[in-house]
Amino acid sequence: MADELALQEVGIDDEFFEIGGNSLSGMDLLARIRSVLHVDLPATEFSRTPRWPDWRS
């Protein structure tokens, strides 16, 4: 996520949109998650739960 937002580091509790994420960078991040982790996270789910720990629920 740090790459998509041009940040040096991102913490596990950082909220994607609060640290500078937007819908376009979110789509880039979801594509990277799909290709690297082979996980298909729907964009609607990502926008509802933009913190990594919340995805586990």
Predicted pLDDT at 4 = 64
pLDDT in tens, 29-57: 889 889 999 988 888 887 777 666 666 55
Say how far apart CA 18 and CA 35 lie, in whole Å.
Answer: 25
* For range 17-32, the mean pLDDT: 87
Predicted pLDDT at 39 = 87
Predicted pLDDT at 55 = 60
Residue 18 has pLDDT above 80, yes or no: yes
| DSSP assigned state of 16 | T
Say how far apart CA 31 and CA 1 lie, in whole Å.
Answer: 11
Alpha helices, H only, 8-50: 23-37, 43-48
